[in-house]
A and B are shown apart, each in its own frame.
Chain A
Amino acid sequence: MDLFAQRKIYSVYDITSEIKRSLDKFGILWVQGEISNFKHHSSGHMYFSLKDQRAQMKAAFFRNNNLYLKFRPEDGMEVIVRGRLSVYEPRGDYQMIVEYMEPVGLGSLQLAFDQLKEKLRKEGLFEDLHKIPLPLLPRKVGIITSPTGAAIRDILRILKRRNASLDVLIYPARVQGTGAAEEVVAGIRYLNSRRDIDVIIAGRGGGSIEDLWAFNEEIVARAIYQSELPLISAVGHEVDYTIADFVADMRAPTPSAAAEMVSGAREDLRATVASFGGRLNQAIRRGIERRRLNLERLAHNKAFTVAPNKIRDLQQRFDEGAMRMAQAMRRFCYAIRHRERLIATRLHALDLRRLLDHKKQILAHSRQGLISGTKTCLAAERSRFEVAVGKIDALSPLAILRRGFALCRDAKGIILKNAADVSCGDQVSVTLALGSLECEVKKTNENYELRMTNYELKN
């Protein structure tokens, strides 16, 4: 046979296509192996190798299929994949196009759970210092849950039984299945945006890990972490732990427990307030009592009893002194009056009065004598006076005039004694005993002298 004669010469592409067609005949198959050289491209496609101790093969896990993957494939992870065999012509590699992958050993969900838990723990989302304390006496609680589920019924029942005066606002959300995580996140954000909510409960009744899965999603965990309101996670039963439970500010093993947490404080708080009230009363009473005892003790101190006694003492002495002085005064007054009487008596004895009367008499007598003597004297003098007056009278020109003589005065007033002192026609005034005359000289007669005759008086 001539190997060269009827040889069929394939192109590289043709033979590759043939190989591809052959591989295609495997159809859908399952392969188990260890992941290595895992690369998750930005395109979303995953490329890796599957290997065991003796062989390896390439694999591609495209985006539209790997989106549903809950866990992260890692080098060294033992997985079971399902897919088809194919050839990547440009490089001549045969590869498996993976459409499903699951971890060997753990369920993929469990693996995803472990991976996320570790990741978030490393970021510090579970730290206590990020947890917000629950309010002691919340006025309104927001509950993210299914409106038809068991959780809300349990919560409301407990609140009613505890007579909690707490308002409830329910944010209805799907708590499992597609989109549930997104609804829970929306609920957390909405309740935070309100001003009247004091605390949030996010929860649901029991179920499988798949049922509870929404509370294991990363977006829910981050929304809980970012919530500024304190949030209680109440997912499933006591034994169920979800990522939400780790991030939440408080984990309630059941929804009922969550209801107790938001309302429980009430009774304890009542007791606390009552106890404070009691302590207030006691403290103030003790304080007052202490001061009162102090005051009493001081009041009984000698300082307060001695002084009043001293004062009373002094008062008594003063009173006595005053009394004695009054007595002394009285005695003194008596003494004086007594002396007065004595003197009066002695005076009387001295007959001073009588003496006085006597003297008075003498005085009166003398006075009389004086008066009469004076009268006599006066009378004598009067008569002498009268005699003198008579004499004077007789000698007075008036008497002369009365005897019929007249007094002549010239115009100058000079008394005329000589007729020669006037001439005919001169005015002369003549004074009579009664009245006067104005005359004119008609004729003068000189050398006529009146001679005294027997009419002369000889003294």
Chain B
Amino acid sequence: MELKVKDFESALKSLEDIVVQLEAGDLTLDRALELFEEGIRISRFCSSKLDEAERKVEILIKAADGTMKEVPFTEDVEANES
């Protein structure tokens, strides 16, 4: 299920809006259920973003032709002496 737009920030904001609307209480039952479903979708999306676990650490090296290149970074002091 694809959400329209949605990076984390705007997703969180939408979620907050939905919660506020639902708590206000003056919606038709159909609309309330619609919003509830969307709210659940968004909150799952946010949770999944928060749980993403990859981490990459890289350092830039200036190549011979002057362009920058990324290489993995190790905390070995000698290897990274520039």
CB pair A168–B19 under 8 Å, yes or no, is no
CB pair B32–A287 under 8 Å, yes or no, is yes
- Nearest chain A residue, comparing its CB with the CB of B29: A291
CB pair B46–A269 under 8 Å, yes or no, is yes
Q: Does A277 contact B (CB under 8 A)?
A: yes
Identify which of residues 392-436 in chain A touch chain B, using a CB-to-CB cut-off of 8 Å: none
Q: Does A172 contact B (CB under 8 A)?
A: yes
The 27 sampled A-B contact pairs (Cβ below 8 Å) are A135-B9, A136-B8, A147-B59, A147-B73, A159-B55, A167-B55, A167-B56, A167-B58, A168-B56, A169-B58, A169-B60, A170-B73, A172-B60, A269-B46, A270-B50, A273-B46, A276-B15, A277-B43, A279-B19, A279-B23, A280-B18, A280-B36, A283-B22, A284-B33, A284-B36, A287-B25, A287-B27
- Nearest chain B residue, comparing its CB with the CB of A194: B68
CB pair B80–A147 under 8 Å, yes or no, is yes
CB pair A136–B9 under 8 Å, yes or no, is yes
A148's contact among B39, B49, B80, by CB below 8 Å, is which?
B80
For the complex of A and B, list the 4 residue pairs with the smallest distance between their C-beta atoms, beginning with the closest. Answer: A283-B22, A170-B59, A147-B80, A137-B8
- Nearest chain A residue, comparing its CB with the CB of B54: A165
Known: A147-B80, A165-B52, A170-B58. A284 touches B32 (CB 8 A): yes
Chain A interfacial residues counted at CB < 8 A: 36
Query: Given the complex, which residues of B lie within 8 Å of A277, measured CB to CB?
Result: 39-40, 43
Q: Does B75 contact A (CB under 8 A)?
A: yes
Query: Given the complex, which residues of A lie within 8 Å of B39, measured CB to CB?
Result: 276-277, 280
Q: Does A166 contact B (CB under 8 A)?
A: yes
CB pair A137–B58 under 8 Å, yes or no, is no
CB pair A284–B55 under 8 Å, yes or no, is no
User: A: which residues have CB within 8 A of B?
Assistant: 135-137, 147-148, 153, 156, 159-160, 163-172, 190, 266, 269-270, 272-273, 276-277, 279-280, 283-284, 286-288, 290-291
Q: Does B81 contact A (CB under 8 A)?
A: yes
CB pair A280–B19 under 8 Å, yes or no, is yes
Number of cross-chain contacts by CB at 8 Å: 104
Bound-state CA distance A164–B57 (Å) is 12
CB pair B59–A169 under 8 Å, yes or no, is yes
Known: A276-B16, A287-B29. A156 touches B57 (CB 8 A): yes
- Nearest chain A residue, comparing its CB with the CB of B26: A287
- Nearest chain B residue, comparing its CB with the CB of A136: B9
Q: Apart from A273-B46, A277-B40, A280-B43, list 17 A-B contacts with CB within 8 A.
A: A136-B9, A147-B59, A148-B77, A148-B80, A153-B75, A165-B53, A166-B55, A167-B56, A167-B57, A170-B58, A190-B68, A270-B50, A273-B47, A276-B16, A276-B39, A280-B39, A284-B32
Most buried by B among A156, A170, A288: A170
CB pair A170–B60 under 8 Å, yes or no, is yes
Query: Given the complex, which residues of A lie within 8 Å of B58, measured CB to CB?
Result: 167-170
Query: Given the complex, which residues of B lie within 8 Å of A266, measured CB to CB?
Result: 50
CB pair B12–A273 under 8 Å, yes or no, is yes
Bound-state CA distance A167–B9 (Å) is 18
Most buried by A among B23, B33, B50, B80: B50
CB pair A287–B22 under 8 Å, yes or no, is yes
In angstroms, how far is the closest chain A Cβ from the Cβ of B60? 5
In angstroms, how far is the closest chain B Cβ from the Cβ of A186? 10
- Nearest chain B residue, comparing its CB with the CB of A174: B82
CB pair A280–B82 under 8 Å, yes or no, is no
In angstroms, how far is the closest chain B Cβ from the Cβ of A294? 11
Bound-state CA distance A159–B22 (Å) is 37
Bound-state CA distance A288–B70 (Å) is 55
- Nearest chain A residue, comparing its CB with the CB of B38: A280
Bound-state CA distance A77–B4 (Å) is 63
Bound-state CA distance A276–B23 (Å) is 11
Query: Given the complex, which residues of B lie within 8 Å of A160, measured CB to CB?
Result: 55
